[in-house]
């Protein structure tokens, strides 16, 4: 027999209301917490439309439009679809877990804070700094990539000129604080989404032989037979995962943005559910189209990487169809996408470092928030890293940036793994303190099982990447290749051990009984669970769980 109040018709009745009153008495609301040492709170100016666009298109960038070409060349079209699909499922589970915690605790630092509270401060320190360093080093890389896209039209202008132009643009965006970030992401995400939809329609027309001048006629799945659906066997398949992680990376920024959202209890559930659409259409369908209209043995794909935008499989597919003018349009979309990711770099690193500083895990002055709600010193640090973009003119620029990007290669897998682990531990702590699931304003659709699935897939992806790092595709074991692919792992381990020793934090994990589950809740979040649920058709309820 179910315990009273846990299920049944009284879920929204007296018993729940009584338990809500008890929870409300235990809660320390975010607006009641005293700022640490006079640190101002971040401004809450992001609207629902900003949050949804950050979720749908915030990380669609060079990873999808360019990096996927290298994955197609190494693994083949079927390996790309399966690899991106696996990472997509992993991300879907992760975002559900993050959404549940972020709606209840829309706190500064989001997942970094959850890892510290529900898993271990040492792991939070390690993951937080790795995440911040990743965004710091990705910014100059994106500035160079954006400059290279301009060479599609003009190769007579110095790269340093365009690095300066884009860096000035990012500086101007950050003058307007979080609202500037939100508005820019909204506009750029709309452009990227329209481009993806347009390419899907274009690809269907190409595949069915509807392009005048394209003598291939009906293509179907011709290229899945020759050169083949899979290339380089199992090792080729395993090589797809890092590319997929880089392409999907940034989705978790929705969790960071929760602290600056006007109504997270309304905006975040909608944004979280948008992840399904993004994975299904803007990644999987786009890559399916690319894989059927562009042969994976196209030699131009060999150099496809985030910085070599000339090897974009999307642009190459358009050129293969013989359509003039359209490659130029899509190159402009890639330029917009790269700038969007560069904008996200500044947001992701600055908010994470500011959160680290408020917990004493970074130099104290980084905790400062000015009167306009900007973590100004963190923003200055990120923009200063952008100056490394001028290294693109150096003779050894490729080697330098390969090692810089090695710091972020596996970052997203570790972040997503930690989010799932934090959600599993949070549920244990929530239960240990006597609270029930019906008291949560938003529940992960797949529950703890989904987090275990996400955690397991992260571990499998890390193992697959380790395999291809030790035994690289087309080569023998090489220390330089291994560390260029797997450097983030020893970095996280070093940070974890450093904080253990520095803080004398000898506990392996935070016990459920010792967890803080009642502070940082935004006023109105727990009260939302008392609102009567509208009766809907079960089919509609199932669909809305995803859409």
Q: Which residues pair with 4 in a beta bridge?
A: 7
* pLDDT classification of 543: cutoffs 50, 70, 90: very low
State yes or no: pLDDT of 80 exceeds 90. yes
Nearby residues of 466 by Cβ (< 8 Å), 6 or more positions away = 486
State yes or no: pLDDT of 130 exceeds 50. yes
DSSP string, 239-277: THHHHHHHHHTTTTHHHHHGGGBS-HHHHHHHHHHHHHH
- 168: three-class secondary structure by DSSP: helix
Q: Are 240 and 86 in contact (CB under 8 A)?
A: no
Task: Classify burial at 391, counting beta carbons within 10 Å of its beta carbon; exposed 0-12, middle 13-18, buried 19 or more.
Answer: middle
Which pLDDT score, from 0 to 100, does residue 307 have?
A: 52
Q: How many structural domains are present in the chain?
A: 1
- 305: three-class secondary structure by DSSP: strand
- Give residue-wise pLDDT tens across range 420-443: 999 999 999 999 988 888 888 888
CATH of the domain at 540: 1.20.1740.10
Greatest pairwise CA separation for the chain in angstroms: 76
Average pLDDT (436-456) is: 90
Average pLDDT (152-158) is: 79
* pLDDT classification of 403: cutoffs 50, 70, 90: confident
* pLDDT classification of 10: cutoffs 50, 70, 90: very low
Which pLDDT score, from 0 to 100, does residue 287 have?
A: 92
Pairing state of beta strands 519-521 and 28-29?
parallel
pLDDT higher at 20 or 70: 70
- Give residue-wise pLDDT tens across range 208-233: 988 888 888 889 899 999 888 999 88
Is residue 32 assigned to a domain? no
The alpha carbons of the chain give a radius of gyration, in whole angstroms, of 23
Which pLDDT score, from 0 to 100, does residue 302 have?
A: 72
State the average pLDDT for the chain: 81
Which pLDDT score, from 0 to 100, does residue 146 have?
A: 82
- 109: three-class secondary structure by DSSP: coil
Q: Are 445 and 423 in contact (CB under 8 A)?
A: no
* pLDDT classification of 533: cutoffs 50, 70, 90: very low
Helix residue ranges, H only, 375-476: 376-386, 397-406, 411-432, 447-470
How far apart are alpha carbons 460 and 479 in whole angstroms? 22
Is residue 352 assigned to a domain? yes
Q: Are 485 and 112 in contact (CB under 8 A)?
A: no
Average pLDDT (68-91) is: 90
Average pLDDT (156-181) is: 84
Which pLDDT score, from 0 to 100, does residue 217 have?
A: 85
Which percentage of the chain shows pLDDT scores above 90? Answer: 22
State yes or no: pLDDT of 33 exceeds 70. no
Which pLDDT score, from 0 to 100, does residue 527 have?
A: 58
Is residue 163 assigned to a domain? yes
Which percentage of the chain shows pLDDT scores above 70? Answer: 83
Is residue 29 assigned to a domain? no
Whole-number Cα distances in Å, 498 to 137, 352, 407, 413, 502: 22, 19, 17, 21, 6
Which pLDDT score, from 0 to 100, does residue 531 have?
A: 53
Average pLDDT (73-78) is: 92
How far apart are alpha carbons 409 and 254 in whole angstroms? 21
**H-helix or E-strand containing 83?**
helix 77-104
* pLDDT classification of 535: cutoffs 50, 70, 90: very low
pLDDT higher at 541 or 350: 350
Q: Are 242 and 349 in contact (CB under 8 A)?
A: no
State yes or no: pLDDT of 263 exceeds 80. no
* pLDDT classification of 480: cutoffs 50, 70, 90: confident
Q: Are 135 and 349 in contact (CB under 8 A)?
A: yes
Which pLDDT score, from 0 to 100, does residue 22 have?
A: 67
Is residue 388 assigned to a domain? yes
Residue recorded with tokens 């897998």? 413
Q: Are 144 and 446 in contact (CB under 8 A)?
A: no
Torsion-angle region of 536 (φ positive above 0: left; ψ -120 to 50: alpha; else: beta)? beta
Which pLDDT score, from 0 to 100, does residue 97 have?
A: 92
pLDDT higher at 193 or 305: 193
State yes or no: pLDDT of 305 exceeds 90. no
Which pLDDT score, from 0 to 100, does residue 6 have?
A: 36
Nearest to 62 by CA among 345, 461, 404, 395: 345
Average pLDDT (180-193) is: 83
Least confident of 99-113, 171-185, 204-218: 171-185
Least confident of 375-389, 405-419, 436-450: 405-419
Q: Which residues pair with 7 in a beta bridge?
A: 4
Domain around 118:
44-546
* pLDDT classification of 415: cutoffs 50, 70, 90: very high
Least confident of 49-63, 104-118, 217-231, 355-369: 49-63
Nearest to 283 by CA among 57, 54, 53: 57
How far apart are alpha carbons 291 and 275 in whole angstroms? 22
Is residue 23 assigned to a domain? no
Which pLDDT score, from 0 to 100, does residue 32 have?
A: 53
Which pLDDT score, from 0 to 100, does residue 4 have?
A: 35
How far apart are alpha carbons 59 and 246 in whole angstroms? 9
Residue recorded with tokens 């001028």? 390
Nearby residues of 306 by Cβ (< 8 Å), 6 or more positions away = 62, 63, 66, 67, 141, 142, 145, 246, 405
Task: Classify burial at 191, counting beta carbons within 10 Å of its beta carbon; exposed 0-12, middle 13-18, buried 19 or more.
Answer: middle
Is residue 211 assigned to a domain? yes
Is residue 30 assigned to a domain? no
Least confident of 98-107, 175-184, 517-526: 517-526
How far apart are alpha carbons 506 and 504 in whole angstroms? 6
């Amino acid at each position: 027999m179910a315990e009273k109040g846990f299920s049944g018709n009284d879920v929204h009745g007296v018993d729940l209301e009584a338990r809500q009153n008890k929870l409300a008495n235990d809660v320390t609301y975010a607006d009641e917490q005293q700022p640490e040492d006079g640190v101002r709170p971040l401004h809450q100016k992001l609207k629902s439309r900003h949050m949804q666009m950050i979720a749908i298109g915030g990380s669609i960038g060079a990873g999808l439009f360019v990096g996927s070409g290298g994955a197609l060349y190494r693994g083949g079209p079927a390996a790309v679809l399966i690899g991106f699909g696996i990472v997509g499922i992993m991300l879907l589970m992760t975002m559900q877990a993050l959404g549940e915690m972020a709606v209840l605790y829309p706190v500064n630092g989001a997942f970094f804070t959850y890892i510290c509270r529900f898993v271990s401060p040492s792991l939070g320190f390690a993951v937080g700094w790795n995440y911040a360093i990743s965004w710091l080093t990705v910014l100059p890389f994106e500035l160079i990539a954006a400059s290279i896209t301009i060479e599609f039209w003009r190769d007579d202008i110095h790269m340093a000129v365009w690095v300066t132009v884009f860096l000035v643009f990012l500086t101007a965006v950050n003058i307007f604080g979080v609202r500037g970030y939100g508005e820019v992401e909204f506009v750029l995400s709309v452009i990227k989404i329209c481009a993806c939809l347009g390419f899907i329609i274009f690809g269907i027309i190409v595949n069915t032989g509807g392009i005048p001048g394209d003598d291939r006629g009906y293509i179907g799945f011709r290229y899945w037979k020759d050169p083949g659906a899979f290339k380089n066997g199992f090792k080729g398949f395993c090589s797809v995962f890092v590319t997929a992680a880089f392409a999907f990376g940034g989705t978790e920024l929705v969790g960071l943005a929760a602290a600056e959202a006007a109504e997270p209890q309304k905006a975040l559930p909608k944004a979280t559910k948008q992840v399904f659409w993004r994975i299904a259409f803007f990644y999987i369908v786009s890559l399916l189209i690319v894989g059927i209209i562009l042969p994976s043995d196209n030699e131009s794909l060999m150099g496809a990487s985030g910085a070599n935008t000339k090897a974009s499989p999307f642009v190459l597919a358009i050129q293969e169809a013989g359509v003039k003018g359209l490659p130029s349009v899509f190159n402009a979309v890639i330029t917009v996408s790269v700038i969007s990711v560069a904008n996200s770099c500044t947001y992701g690193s600055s908010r994470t470092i500011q959160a680290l500083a408020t917990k004493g895990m970074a130099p104290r002055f980084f905790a400062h928030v000015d009167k306009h709600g900007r973590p100004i010193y963190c923003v200055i640090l990120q923009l200063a890293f952008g100056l490394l973009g001028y290294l693109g003119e150096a003779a050894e620029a490729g080697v330098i940036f390969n090692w810089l990007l090695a710091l972020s290669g596996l970052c997203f897998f570790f972040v997503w793994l930690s989010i799932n682990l934090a959600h599993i531990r949070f549920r244990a702590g929530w239960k240990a303190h006597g609270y029930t699931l019906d008291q949560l304003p938003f529940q992960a659709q797949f529950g703890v099982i989904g987090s275990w699935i996400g955690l397991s897939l992260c571990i499998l992806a890390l193992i697959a990447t380790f395999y291809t790092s030790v035994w690289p595709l087309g080569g023998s074991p090489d220390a330089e290749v291994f560390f260029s692919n797997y450097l983030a792992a020893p970095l996280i381990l070093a940070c974890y051990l450093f904080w253990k020793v520095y803080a004398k934090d000898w506990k392996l994990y935070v016990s459920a009984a010792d967890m803080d589950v009642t502070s940082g809740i935004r006023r109105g979040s727990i009260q939302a669970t008392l609102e009567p649920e509208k009766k809907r058709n079960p089919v509609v309820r199932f669909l809305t769980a995803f859409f």
